[in-house]
Each structure stands twice: as C-alpha cells, then as structure tokens.
Structure 1
C-alpha cells in the first residue's frame, strides 16, 4: 500500500508565487429550519403565564423564573439542554404552587411534547 494517498476534504498545494489568499469557499450557511407556529405560540403562551405566575411566588422562585426566561425562546441559538433546564425549572415552580401554577405546568408539557420530549 505504499504510495497510496487518501484525501478527505480540502487539499491545497501551492508552489511559490505571491499574493496567495488560500481557499475561497463562497458557501453560505443554510438557514435554520423555521419554527413551527404551534411551538412559537406555545412558548409565547408560557412566557405570558409565567410573567403572571411570577408575582404569586416567593422571591427565590421569582428569581429562578427570571433566570430561566432567556432560555425560554424558539431562537435556534439556544442550546437544547439550556431550554430543557429552564422548562424543568419553571415546571417545578408551577407544580409547587398548585392550582395557580397548573396552566404554566400544562404549557411546559405542551412545549416538551412539541419538542419531542427533549
């Protein structure tokens, strides 16, 4: 097998010269997949519900809700594990306050279902 060459990806060989600029790819990143309208609606509803819930929970729980808000979005830049952590935090708070938190808990479960149980 001596002398066999296997190349994967780009390979550039330059012999002398000046002004070499390297490889110009001219590739565009693919657009992230659009957010399903049902998921966007569910996230918007959850955010509305937890804003109302926030005023009815102890200060420590309100702070946990505030800390979770940045990850409760459909933005593709949000890491799935961060979103899941935030959803679980909100679900835990909603579950501890009983009937007042039930709508928020149901909204979290709806989002988890739309995300495939993430």
Structure 2
C-alpha cells in the first residue's frame, strides 16, 4: 500500500468495551471563524428576542409552537443542526402567516440560515 494517501480520520480499534466512536474537536480556524461564531450568536439572540415579541400576538397554538422551537435555536456544541433547521422553518412559517408583523422574524431566520451556510 505504499503511496496510498488518506485524508481524514483513521481509526483502529483492537478489543475493548464501551467504544463510543470518535470525538471530534473541530474549531473554527483563525479570527474569521471567531467572527462568524460571534455574528451567528448575535443573529440567534436577535431572532429569539423577535420571537418572544411575536409570541405575544399570535394564537395559543402558534405560541406553543414557538415555545417548542426555542430550545433548538442554539449555537455551539449543544446545537443539533437538524433540530435547529426544523425549528427555524417552523418559526418562519408561523411568522409568514401573521403578515407584516412577522416580516422581521422571517428576515432574522434568513440571516441565521445564511450564517449557517443555508442549512
């Protein structure tokens, strides 16, 4: 196998018990990565503020849906991309149905999605 080049993770497990898999410690490279993370954090905070304001003016079922979405709108190691995406789509849908008052929420969701790379 001389000359083979592998890019990425190579894992060899020999015996053992309770192997959990690979723990990746990926960090954004350099100051640009930190700026994006800070910008994303700010964008999500702005969205949450707008959602709390919107919540007061929507029907009880829509308010409940907003409440259910809020925990998934996180940034950092606890964020679950699929759950966050579903939550973003849910709150964007609610905001779109309430007319002009929901426009800032839809725009905030679009900003967050843009910062996440269009997830």
TM-score tier, shorter chain, comes to: 0.7 to 0.9
The residue aligned with 2:12 is: 9
* Runs of 4 or more consecutive aligned structure 1 residues displaced over 3 Å after TM superposition: 31-35
Shift of residue 80, structure 1, vs aligned partner = 0.6
Gaps spanning 5+ residues in structure 2: where? 1-10, 18-22, 29-33
Whether 1:30 aligns to 2:30 is no
- For the aligned residue pairs, the C-alpha RMSD in angstroms reads 2.4
1:71 and 1:10 mapped to 2: Cα distance? 34
The residue aligned with 2:102 is: 101
What is the TM-score when the length of structure 2 is the normalising length? 0.73
What is the TM-score when the length of structure 1 is the normalising length? 0.73
Instruction: Give the number of equivalent residue pairs.
Output: 98
Structure with bigger gyration radius: 1
Q: Which has the higher helix share?
A: 2
Shift of residue 78, structure 1, vs aligned partner = 2.2
